[in-house]
Amino acid sequence: MDLGLSNKTALVCAASKGLGRACAEALAAEGVRLVITARGADTLEETAHYLRSHFGAEVTTVAGDITTEAGRAQALAVCQSAFGMPDILINNAGGPKPGDFRDWGRAEWQAAVEANMFTPIELIKACTPTMMTRQWGRVVNITSSAVKAPIPELGLSNGARSGLTGFVAGVARQLAEHGITINNLLPGLFYTDRLKNNFAFLSDKTGKTHAEIFAAKSAANPSKRLGNPAEFGAVCAFMCSTQAAYLNGQNILLDGGNYPGTF
């Protein structure tokens, strides 16, 4: 299926690895021009090289922390000068560390809210005026299955992402008449570096090996496996497509059927 995205421009945040990278790959395969960000310049450049050589994509990189005001300003300025403001915004950043809520103070909460709520809100604010002028825009926020079913050791994520979800529910309806859709894509368990770190935390806590935790998490999922990041990227690209113009303000859960609710 041609998703109708050829020659659109996307800003994909936190995209040198994992789910962000998978979204960048799926968009590159559709002929989208990309600006990708991450803090580590070397891995970011390797990812850009892969996108150019495998997909023939036009890719610009911005090495910086997207959760800071300076990092966001730099990403937007580079995007503006390379291709103009983005038609597509993929909001992503590292998730908060796992832990115990009794150990988290104001600083930990502020960092989580800054990264997983305030940053996407600021980028939506910065990018949607141009999308309104064009009467076309797509925003996909990478959030978490924790928004639907909280994960005890990820309380910072449960809280901060729920705040973003509430905001998006309102703003998506405010901007819909301008051809803009804003949706959240909720990963269950995808085997990325982030998940490996979470498994290391569980391993320390329970004494189980990484392999045992991997096997138990896979077995507990109705599909008997963890998610493949490419599957995540493909759904993200569809959410950005011209065909998905009537999909708006939704929380799309991608978890192999793990969430047990009917709705």
Q: Which CB atom, from 35 or from 175, has the smaller least distance to ligand NAP?
A: 35
Given the rule CB under 6 A, which of 9-17, 125-133, 169-177, 215-223 is the region that contacts ligand NAP?
9-17
Nearest approach, Cβ of 255 to ligand NAP (angstroms)? 9
What is the chain's alpha carbon radius of gyration, rounded to the nearest angstrom? 18
Residue number with CB closer to ligand NAP (36 or 175): 36
Contact between 256 and ligand NAP per CB under 6 A:
no
In angstroms, the CA 126 to CA 114 distance is 16
With residue 130 as reference, give the H or E element that holds it: helix 119-134
d(CA 177, CA 180) in angstroms, rounded, equals: 7
Tokens standing for residue 80 = 């503006």
Edge-to-edge strand ranges of the sheet holding 33-38:
59-63, 33-38, 9-12, 88-91, 137-142, 180-187, 251-254
Q: Is 42 in the site for ligand NAP (CB under 6 A)?
A: no
Structure tokens at 218: 């896979």
> Closest Cα partner for 142 from 190, 189, 195, 91?
91
* Residue 155 touches ligand NAP, criterion: CB under 6 A: no
Quick check: 144 binds ligand NAP (CB under 6 A)?
A: yes
Strand partners, 185: 142, 252
* Distance in Å, CB of 174 to ligand NAP, minimum: 25
Q: Please pick, from the candidates 9, 60, 92, 165, the single residue that binds ligand NAP as defined by CB under 6 A.
A: 92
Residue among 86 and 175 whose Cβ is closer to ligand NAP: 86
- The interface with ligand NAP within residues 180-239 (CB under 6 A) comprises 187, 189-190, 192-195
Question: Could you give phi then psi for residue 138, rounded to 5 degrees?
Answer: -135, 130
Q: Which of 2, 7, 40, 243 binds ligand NAP (CB under 6 A)?
A: 40
Least spacing, CB of residue 11 vs ligand NAP, in Å: 12
Determine, following the binding rule CB under 6 A, whether residue 18 of this chain makes contact with ligand NAP.
Answer: yes
Length of the chain: 263
Query: Which residue lies nearer to ligand NAP by CB, 104 or 136?
Result: 104
Nearest to 27 by CA among 86, 94, 106, 93: 86
Are the C-beta atoms of 20 and 92 separated by less than 8 Å?
Answer: yes
Q: For residues 13 and 141, what is the distance between their CA atoms, to the nearest angstrom?
A: 10
Q: List the one residue from 3, 9, 37, 175 that touches ligand NAP (CB under 6 A).
A: 37
List the interface residues with ligand NAP, window 161-190 (CB under 6 A): 187, 189-190
Considering only residues 51 through 90, tell me which ones interact with ligand NAP, judged by CB under 6 A: 65-67
Q: H or E element: which one contains 9?
A: strand 9-12
Indicate which single residue of 12, 14, 27, 57 sits in contact with ligand NAP (rule: CB under 6 A).
14
Could you list the residues that contact ligand NAP (CB under 6 A)? 14-20, 37-40, 43, 65-67, 92-95, 142, 144-145, 157, 187, 189-190, 192-195
